[in-house]
């Protein structure tokens, strides 16, 4: 993971920005009784990246991963349009209630840059639809150099997005958030189209940490730095999620990334335990052989 990586993460101010004033009104307007749906997981399931997480002898990594977590952020679909047979296999290997959160293919976002991308989008959606009820939410990640000058292209693409596929948007150009663009135009479009605004928390890109919700769903892509402050940052995130829960958030999607992914299950487990203990959630706490053997300590 190179995005937002810094040499000295201990020098970064990781304080979360104040909540956007519009969030409370948005959440109160859609507030329903009961607890929010919460999905917390990693970005990958392969054994090489999640070194040490799988018990010895594990042969099917996805099948095992899905017994420990309720979701996965599926970055592999950014690089490949997988055959329907592969997608159907993902479906059959995972239990009821498990959710996939796939990234749109780079041919749509980075090669076509959303221009004349209907054919590529249709091909992608025709395949990913085979996840059926296990499709949580798709997400569209735009490149760093896709800025407000491309507003008309972005708007046209999102206006045509089919409502049957839940979508989240991640923007990585600072111009969307630094005041040089009328961001209310963006937020209005996302609210009207029911498109979730991804919150990206990365050490080297604090300029993207916008804290503006556009639906009653919080989709957080958390990029840890493999230092002890990753845990205190999660403490701060828990407090923000707690606030949003009190205000009426309906869904929370939280996915952990690391420069070295072997720590991702540990951080995910840490947040899951806080959600269970302090908000009364009933999320499964993943079993981790490293914690069980005393090799690592979960709580910092």
Token pair for 125: 């959606």
Rounded distance between C-alpha atoms, residue 267 and residue 256, angstroms: 7
Cα dist from 211 to 1, 16, 22, whole Å: 23, 8, 10
- Judge contact between 20 and 210, C-beta under 8 A: yes
Closest Cα to residue 198, out of 168, 155, 223?
168
DSSP state of 130: G
What's the pLDDT at 4? 60
Which residues neighbour 74 within 8 Å (Cβ) at sequence distance 6 or greater? 100, 101, 102, 103
What's the predicted TM-score (pTM) here?
Answer: 0.96
What's the pLDDT at 104? 98
Closest Cα to residue 254, out of 288, 223, 282?
223
Token pair for 251: 């869904």
DSSP H helices, 44-111, are 61-68, 76-79, 84-93, 106
Cα dist from 201 to 23, 185, 209, 255, whole Å: 18, 23, 6, 11
Token pair for 151: 């507003």
pLDDT digits (tens, 9 = 90+) for 207-225: 999 999 999 999 999 998 8
Rounded distance between C-alpha atoms, residue 18 and residue 69, angstroms: 30
Residue spans of the chain under pLDDT 50: 300
DSSP state of 223: E
What's the pLDDT at 274? 97
How many residues are listed for the chain in this entry?
Answer: 300
Give CA torsion, residues 198, 170, 129, 258, to 10 deg.
-80
What's the pLDDT at 241? 98
Cα maximum dimension of the chain: 55
Can you list the positions of beta strands (E) in the chain?
Answer: 37-42, 71-74, 99-102, 138-141, 167-170, 196-197, 199-202, 217-223, 251-257
What's the pLDDT at 5? 74
Q: How many helices (H) and strands (E) does the chain have?
A: 11, 9
Rounded distance between C-alpha atoms, residue 155 and residue 148, angstroms: 11
Taking phi first (over 0 means left), then psi (-120 to 50 degrees means alpha), and beta for anything else, what does residue 130 get? alpha
Rounded distance between C-alpha atoms, residue 72 and residue 55, angstroms: 19
């Amino acid at each position: 993971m190179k995005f937002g990586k810094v040499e000295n993460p201990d020098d970064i101010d990781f304080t979360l920005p104040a909540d956007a004033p519009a969030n409370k009104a948005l959440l109160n307007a859609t507030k329903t009784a009961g607890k929010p749906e919460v999905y917390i997981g990693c970005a990958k399931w392969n054994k090489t990246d999640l070194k040490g997480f799988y018990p010895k002898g594990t042969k099917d990594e996805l099948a095992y991963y899905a017994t420990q977590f309720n979701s996965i952020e599926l970055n592999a679909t950014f690089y490949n349009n997988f055959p329907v047979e592969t997608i159907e296999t993902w479906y059959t290997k995972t239990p009821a209630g498990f959710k996939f959160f796939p990234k749109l293919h780079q041919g749509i976002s980075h090669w076509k840059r959303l221009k004349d991308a209907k054919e590529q989008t249709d091909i992608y959606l025709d395949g990913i639809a085979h996840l059926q009820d296990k499709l949580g939410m798709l997400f569209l990640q735009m490149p760093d150099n896709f800025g407000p000058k491309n507003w008309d292209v972005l708007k046209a693409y999102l206006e045509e997005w089919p409502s049957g596929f839940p979508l989240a948007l991640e923007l990585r150009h600072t111009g969307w958030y630094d005041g040089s663009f009328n961001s209310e135009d963006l937020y209005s479009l996302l609210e009207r189209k029911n498109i979730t605004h991804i919150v990206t928390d990365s050490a080297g890109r604090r300029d993207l940490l916008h804290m503006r919700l556009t639906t009653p769903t919080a989709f957080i892509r958390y990029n840890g730095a493999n230092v002890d402050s990753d845990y205190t940052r999660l403490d701060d995130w828990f407090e923000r999620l707690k606030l949003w829960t009190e205000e009426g958030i309906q869904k929370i999607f939280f996915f952990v990334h690391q420069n070295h992914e072997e720590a991702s299950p540990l951080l995910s487990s840490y947040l899951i335990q806080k959600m269970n203990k302090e908000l009364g959630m009933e999320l499964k706490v993943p079993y981790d052989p490293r914690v069980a053997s005393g090799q690592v300590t979960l709580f910092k």
